């Protein structure tokens, strides 16, 4: 019954294909090669857990406030930039913990970053039945989401929540600096969950890699409103499947960046906080 629904049918077909590839791959391994792969998976999951714990404990704005807040209040010039500096710290921590440190781990392991979703070319190993062009999928998904974002921009709740940096409308510089910092985090997030974790596990675990990467992706959303937290479960599975079917995480990166920028611009425009150029 579920397979008759176009999207669900495609997802189930994709997951079956990924599982078949994983079974064939595991069957081709010798006992020694199995042990190497199991060790590799343990290492990736351990590093991921450590980075997530460090990011939660030391990479967010409350830690910045605890560490630097009192000093900033004593300097009038810096105090004006207090909120922006806290978001700068938050952004750098995300780029470091979700992007640079996982990439460093892969480099130390002498693994190619292109094999973790960063290639612009479509992966030839993807089953022809589920192979998708990443650029076209990005355009189709963004075209479908943009009208919903536009409708949401007329609501007070939307206008009050975006942009996260409440003083982004103070000047063009504030707005541009904020957007560069904010949008950069989406590349790091996509690389961590859909690159480092998903592509790192998919060859051995098949579709199970989608669910492994989805769980921590959901957990970083649990403090957000319930619809967003619950929606992150399905978004994680959908974006992950899309990444594996295109052989690239770029459709997810561009989708996240485009939607986030649209939300900030539309919310600022509707509330009259868009800076004058």
pTM: 0.92
Between CA 166 and CA 212 the distance in angstroms is 35
Q: What is the full per-residue pLDDT of the chain (277 aa) written as tens digits?
A: 555 656 788 899 999 999 999 999 999 999 999 999 999 999 999 999 999 999 999 999 999 999 988 888 888 777 788 999 999 999 999 999 999 999 999 999 999 999 999 988 766 567 777 888 888 889 999 999 999 899 988 988 888 888 999 999 999 999 999 999 999 999 999 999 999 999 999 999 999 999 999 999 999 988 877 888 898 999 999 999 999 999 999 999 999 999 999 999 999 999 888 887 6
How far, CA to CA in Å, does 36 sit from each of 27, 32, 119, 192, 207? 14, 6, 25, 22, 20
Number of Cβ within 10 Å of residue 36's Cβ equals: 12
Residue extents of the structural domains in the chain: 2-270
Phi-psi sector, 75: left (phi>0), alpha (psi -120 to 50), beta: beta
Q: What is the sign, positive or negative, of the torsion defined by CA atoms of 120, 122, 125, 131?
A: positive
pLDDT recorded at residue 52: 97
């Amino acid at each position: 019954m579920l397979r008759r629904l176009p999207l669900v049918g495609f997802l189930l077909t994709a997951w079956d294909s990924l599982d078949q590839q994983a079974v064939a791959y595991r069957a081709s391994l010798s006992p020694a090669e199995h042990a190497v792969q199991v060790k590799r998976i343990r290492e990736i999951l351990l590093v991921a857990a450590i980075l997530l714990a460090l990011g939660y404990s030391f990479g967010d704005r409350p830690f910045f406030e605890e560490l630097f807040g009192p000093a900033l209040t004593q300097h009038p010039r810096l105090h004006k930039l207090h909120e922006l500096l806290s978001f700068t710290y938050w952004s750098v921590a995300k780029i470091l913990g979700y992007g640079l440190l996982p990439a460093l781990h892969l480099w130390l392991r002498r693994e190619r970053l292109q094999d973790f979703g960063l290639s612009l070319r479509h992966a030839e190993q993807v089953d022809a039945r589920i192979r998708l062009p990443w650029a076209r999928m990005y355009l189709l998904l963004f075209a479908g989401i943009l009208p919903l974002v536009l409708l949401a921009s007329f609501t007070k709740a939307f206008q009050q929540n975006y942009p996260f940096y409440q003083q982004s409308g103070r000047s063009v510089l504030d707005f541009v600096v904020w957007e560069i910092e904010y949008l950069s985090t989406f590349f790091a997030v996509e690389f961590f969950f859909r690159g480092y974790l998903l592509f790192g596990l998919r060859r051995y675990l098949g579709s199970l890699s989608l669910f492994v990467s989805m769980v921590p992706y959901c957990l970083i959303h649990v403090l957000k409103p319930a619809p967003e937290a619950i929606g992150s479960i399905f978004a994680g599975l959908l974006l992950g499947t899309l990444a594996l079917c295109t052989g690239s995480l770029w459709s997810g990166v561009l989708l996240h960046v485009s939607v986030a920028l649209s939300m900030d611009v539309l919310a600022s425009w509707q509330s009259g906080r868009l800076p004058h150029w």
